[in-house]
Amino acid sequence: MSTIKPEDFFKNIISHCKEYGFIFQSSEIYDGLSAVYDYGQMGAELKKNIRDYWWKAMVQIHENIVGIDAAIFMHPTTWKASGHVDAFNDPLIDNKDSKKRYRADVLIEEHVAKIEDKINKEVEKAAKRFENFDADMFRSTNARVKEYQDKIDSINIRFKMALNANNLDEVKQIILDLEIVCPISGTKNWTDVRQFNLMFNTSTGAVTDESNIIYLRPETAQGIFVNYLNVQKTGRMKLPFGIAQTGKAFRNEIVARQFIFRMREFEQMEMQFFVKPGTEMDWYEYWKKARLNWHLSLGLGAEKYRYHDHLKLAHYANAACDIEHQFPFGFKELEGIHSRTDFDLKQHQEFSGKKLQYFDSETNESYVPYVVETSVGLDRLFLSVLASSLKEEALEGGDSRTVLNLPPALAPYKAAVFPLVKKDGLPELAESIMKDLKFDFMVAYDEKDTVGKRYRRQDAIGTPFCITVDHQSLEDKTVTIRHRDTMKQDRVAIADLHKILTEKTSINSLLRAL
- Can you give the binding site for RNA, defined by CB under 7 A? 7, 10-11, 14-15, 18-19, 25, 31-35, 82-84, 86-88, 94, 96, 99, 101, 191, 218-219, 253-255, 257-259, 314-315, 329, 395, 397, 399, 401-402, 420-423, 448-453, 455-457, 460, 468, 470-471, 479-480, 482, 487-489
Q: Which is nearer to RNA, 45 or 470 (CB)?
A: 470
The DSSP output letter for 407 is -
Q: Which candidate, 267, 295, 233, 251, places its Cα nearest to that of 69?
A: 267
Q: Which is nearer to RNA, 423 or 512 (CB)?
A: 423
The Cβ-side half-sphere exposure at 16, using a 13 Å CA radius, reads: 21
Q: Whole-number minimum distance, CB 202 to RNA, in Å?
A: 19
Q: Whole-number minimum distance, CB 115 to RNA, in Å?
A: 28
Q: Which is nearer to RNA, 263 or 510 (CB)?
A: 263
Q: Which is nearer to RNA, 160 or 471 (CB)?
A: 471
Q: Is the dihedral of CA 450, 453, 457, 463 positive or negative?
A: positive
Q: How many residues can be counted in the chain?
A: 514
Q: Whole-number minimum distance, CB 359 to RNA, in Å?
A: 30
Q: Which is nearer to RNA, 39 or 53 (CB)?
A: 39
Q: Which candidate, 257, 502, 301, places its Cα nearest to that of 391?
A: 301
Q: Whole-number minimum distance, CB 1 to RNA, in Å?
A: 14
CA distance 429 to 436: 11
Q: Whole-number minimum distance, CB 34 to RNA, in Å?
A: 3
**Angle in degrees, CA 125, 126, 127, rounded to 5:** 90
Q: Whole-number minimum distance, CB 166 to RNA, in Å?
A: 18
Phi and psi of 93, rounded to 5°?
Answer: -140, 145
Q: Whole-number minimum distance, CB 215 to RNA, in Å?
A: 12
Q: What single letter denotes the amino acid at residue 394?
A: A
Beta bridge partners of 141: none
Q: Which is nearer to RNA, 57 or 216 (CB)?
A: 216
Q: Which is nearer to RNA, 99 or 121 (CB)?
A: 99
Distances, alpha carbon 446 to alpha carbons 26, 34, 48, 149, 460, in Å: 29, 36, 24, 82, 14
- Any alpha helices (H) in 353-463, and if so which ranges? 378-389, 426-437, 451-461
Q: Which candidate, 281, 499, 366, 380, places its Cα nearest to that of 37?
A: 380
Q: Which candidate, 345, 288, 349, 291, places its Cα nearest to that of 316?
A: 345
Q: Whole-number minimum distance, CB 493 to RNA, in Å?
A: 14
CA distance 124 to 452: 91
Q: Which is nearer to RNA, 172 or 240 (CB)?
A: 172
3-state DSSP assignment of residue 67? strand
* Rg for the chain, CA atoms, rounded: 31
Q: Which is nearer to RNA, 11 or 151 (CB)?
A: 11
Q: Whole-number minimum distance, CB 309 to RNA, in Å?
A: 14
Q: Which is nearer to RNA, 97 or 436 (CB)?
A: 97
CA distance 385 to 397: 29
Q: Whole-number minimum distance, CB 162 to RNA, in Å?
A: 21
Q: What single letter denotes the amino acid at residue 94?
A: D
Q: Which candidate, 219, 291, 213, 287, places its Cα nearest to that of 248?
A: 219
197: left (phi over 0), alpha (psi -120 to 50) or beta: beta
Q: Whole-number minimum distance, CB 6 to RNA, in Å?
A: 8
Q: Which candidate, 96, 93, 74, 76, places its Cα nearest to that of 85?
A: 76
Q: Which is nearer to RNA, 53 or 190 (CB)?
A: 190
